[in-house]
Amino acid sequence: MQADSSPNVPLKAKQLGEGVIRLFRDFDDDEDDSSSKAVVTNTNDQTMLSILALPTYFTATDLLGYIGDHYLDSITHIRILKSEKANRFLVLLKFNDVLRAAEFQYHFDGKPFNSMEPEACHVVYVKSVVAEGSTKLAAKDTLIPFLLEDPFTSQTENNNTPVELPTCPHSLKHFVETGHCFAMELSTSRIWDYAGDRYVHRLVTTEEDGKIVELPEKDDTKSTKDQSNDEYSELLLSQLISQREYYELLLHEKSNNVARRGSSNEVNSSRVTELESKVSELSEQVKKLTSSVIPALNRKIDIKEKSLKIAASELNEANVLNEGLSNKVDYLIQENEKLKTEREDLSEQVRDLMFYLESQAKFKDQPAEVKEGQVIMKPKKKSNIKKK
- pLDDT cut 70: percent of the chain above it: 58
Residues 120 and 45 in one domain: yes
Residues 23 and 109 in one domain: yes
State the Rg of the chain over Cα.
64
Q: What phi and psi, each to the nearest 5 degrees, are found at residue 212?
A: -85, 125
Mark which of 179, 202, 225 sits at the end of a domain: 202
Q: Is pLDDT above 90 for 104?
A: yes
Q: Classify residue 173: in a domain, yes or no.
A: yes
Mark which of 150, 179, 202 sits at the end of a domain: 202
Q: What CATH number is associated with residue 74?
A: 3.30.70.330
Q: Classify residue 120: in a domain, yes or no.
A: yes
93 DSSP assignment? E
Q: Is pLDDT above 60 for 234?
A: yes
Range of 99's domain? 19-27+37-133
Burial 199-219 (b: 16+ CB within 10 A, else e): bbbbeeeeeeeeeeeeeeeee
Q: Is pLDDT above 70 for 77?
A: yes
Q: Classify residue 5: in a domain, yes or no.
A: no
Q: Classify residue 230: in a domain, yes or no.
A: no
The arithmetic mean of pLDDT across residues 214-238, rounded, is 67
- The closest alpha carbon to 167, from 138, 205, 188, 190, belongs to 138
Q: Which of 116-120, 257-261, 276-280 has the highest mean pLDDT?
A: 276-280
Query: CA–CA separation, 189 vs 134, rounded Å?
Result: 16
Residues 177 and 120 in one domain: no
Residues 122 and 53 in one domain: yes
Residues 54 and 119 in one domain: yes
pLDDT of residue 211: 54
Residues 48 and 109 in one domain: yes
Q: Is pLDDT above 70 for 81?
A: yes
pTM: 0.33
Query: CA–CA separation, 326 vs 165, rounded Å?
Result: 136
Query: CA–CA separation, 123 vs 92, rounded Å?
Result: 10
- pLDDT cut 90: percent of the chain above it: 16
More confident residue, 202 or 1: 202
Q: How many domains does the chain have?
A: 2
Mean pLDDT of the chain: 72
Residues 129 and 192 in one domain: no
Q: Is pLDDT above 70 for 233?
A: yes
Q: Classify residue 64: in a domain, yes or no.
A: yes
pLDDT of residue 337: 92
Mark which of 152, 180, 202 sits at the end of a domain: 202
Q: Classify residue 115: in a domain, yes or no.
A: yes
DSSP-assigned beta bridge partners for residue 120? 112
Residues 193 and 87 in one domain: no
The arithmetic mean of pLDDT across residues 80-90, rounded, is 68
The tens digit of pLDDT for each residue in 24-49 reads 666 544 444 444 445 556 556 788 99
pLDDT of residue 311: 92
Q: Classify residue 227: in a domain, yes or no.
A: no
Q: Do 105 and 125 form a contact (C-beta atoms < 8 A)?
A: yes
Q: Classify residue 150: in a domain, yes or no.
A: no
